[in-house]
């Protein structure tokens, strides 16, 4: 029986998902529950309720040293506290960069022995901020110690291969997925809002959406984000309402009650907005999304066929496209139907976890 150690970013939502792996938030587990059903033994770095003081103290020293050297740190504490468990596994799967950076550096130092599979989410942007040749060499050698690197966007995989240069481990593009059973078309009666936008990642361009709302007072907008992100928006038009830090059940209900899902995103390499994009498509909603490099290839998006694509930062284009979709209910319904078909065919959660399992079990 193969043992997989999952390195997770610590968050209340993830701990809740670990307690209830059948919940809508199961996507936060990156396939842990699926692998357990396949017969694998699964362990992770959040098994403790409290991280030991010695691990927190060591983590502070490690992060201070990295900061002084010109590089980013991460959650060393939970990884250090779980070293014995990690080293008893057949493979270590680092699910995000927050824990991935400590994992790869500890692997480079010899503290982690099993092969590691590193999932990159925003890693190229972090590497751009490295200061000094010494820290560049350290991170390059540490990343090369990975058995496989996974990226959820094809351009991100390309950038990582270029940055790593020679002796690069396999860098594999694995499209993300969505639970097509949990996120399915829901007839929830008359829509309660014209436009809904959901997201917590830092690349969301909610400012653009608020600007569109200001020019379209006849339309209603609902933004679901973190409380901190909403505060940063300041004063907004009266036709914009907010929901902050809500459970995924509320997100699903809000998508069901909207006429359009609008995802304005700043340019990025790491597939920002992909989770909500796929959820909206799976629910057969017409989705208007920024055509970032991260989703322009690899996710089978076709403007006017299964979604509407607008250049990042183009407020006028975003406004015009939203209005066009809202004005033609028949075309919007067809867009949503084809969106659902695309997700069913290519981006189910089963297909995503199968791809992960193939990598980790090898």
- Read off the pLDDT of residues 137-183 as tens digits, 9 standing for 90 and up: 999 999 999 999 999 999 999 999 999 998 889 999 999 999 999 99
pLDDT band, residue 271 (cuts 50/70/90)? low
- Read off the pLDDT of residues 322-340 as tens digits, 9 standing for 90 and up: 999 999 999 999 999 999 9
Helices (H) and strands (E) in the chain, counts: 17, 12
Give Cβ neighbours of residue 55 (< 8 Å, ≥ 6 apart): 76, 77, 78, 80, 81
User: Quick one: angle between helices 329-346 and 315-327, nearest 10?
Assistant: 100
8 A C-beta contact, residue 271 and residue 291: no
Please report the pLDDT score of residue 200 as a whole number.
Answer: 84
* 266/261 Cα distance (integer angstroms): 17
Say if residue 305's pLDDT is above 90: yes
Classify 205 as helix, strand or coil.
coil
Residue 119's alpha-carbon distances to 74, 173, 178, in angstroms, are: 14, 10, 17
- Read off the pLDDT of residues 221-259 as tens digits, 9 standing for 90 and up: 999 999 999 999 999 999 999 999 888 999 999 999 999
* Closest C-alpha to 54, from 87, 80, 84, 88: 80
Domains and CATH numbers, the chain: 3-177+349-361 (3.40.50), 193-346 (3.40.50.2000)
Please report the pLDDT score of residue 187 as a whole number.
Answer: 79
Please report the pLDDT score of residue 270 as a whole number.
Answer: 66
Whole-model pTM: value is 0.92
Please report the pLDDT score of residue 202 as a whole number.
Answer: 80
């Amino acid at each position: 029986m193969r043992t997989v150690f999952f390195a997770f970013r610590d968050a209340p939502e993830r701990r809740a998902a670990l307690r209830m792996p059948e919940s809508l938030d199961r996507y936060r587990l990156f396939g842990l529950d699926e692998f357990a059903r396949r017969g694998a033994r699964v362990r992770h770095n959040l098994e403790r309720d409290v991280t030991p003081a010695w691990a927190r103290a060591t983590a502070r020293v490690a992060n201070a040293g990295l900061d002084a050297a010109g590089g980013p740190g991460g959650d060393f504490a939970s990884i250090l506290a779980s070293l014995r468990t990690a080293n008893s596994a057949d493979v270590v799967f680092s699910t995000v960069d927050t824990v991935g950076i400590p994992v790869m550096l500890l692997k480079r130092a010899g503290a982690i022995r099993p092969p590691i599979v590193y999932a990159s989410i925003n890693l190229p942007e972090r590497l751009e901020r490295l200061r000094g040749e010494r820290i560049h060499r350290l991170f390059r050698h540490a990343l090369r110690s990975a058995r496989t690197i996974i990226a959820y966007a094809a351009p991100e995989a390309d950038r990582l291969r270029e940055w790593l240069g020679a002796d690069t481990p396999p860098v594999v593009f694995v499209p993300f997925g969505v639970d097509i059973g949990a996120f399915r078309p829901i007839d929830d009666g008359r829509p309660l809002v014209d436009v809904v936008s959901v997201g917590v990642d830092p690349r969301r361009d909610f400012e653009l959406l608020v600007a569109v709302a200001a020019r379209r007072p006849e339309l209603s907008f609902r933004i679901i984000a973190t409380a901190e992100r909403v505060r940063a928006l300041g004063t907004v038009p009266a036709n914009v309402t907010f929901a902050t830090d809500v459970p995924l059940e509320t997100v699903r209900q809000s998508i069901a009650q909207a006429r359009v899902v609008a995802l304005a995103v700043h340019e990025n390499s790491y597939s920002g907005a992909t989770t909500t994009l796929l959820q909206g498509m799976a629910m057969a909603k017409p989705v208007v999304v920024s055509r970032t490099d991260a989703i322009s290839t690899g996710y089978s998006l076709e403007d006017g066929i299964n979604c509407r694509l607008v250049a990042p930062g183009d407020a006028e284009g975003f406004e015009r496209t939203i209005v066009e979709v809202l004005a033609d209910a028949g075309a919007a319904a067809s867009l949503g139907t084809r969106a659902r078909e695309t997700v069913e065919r290519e981006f189910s959660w089963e297909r995503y976890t199968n791809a992960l399992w193939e990598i980790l079990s090898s």
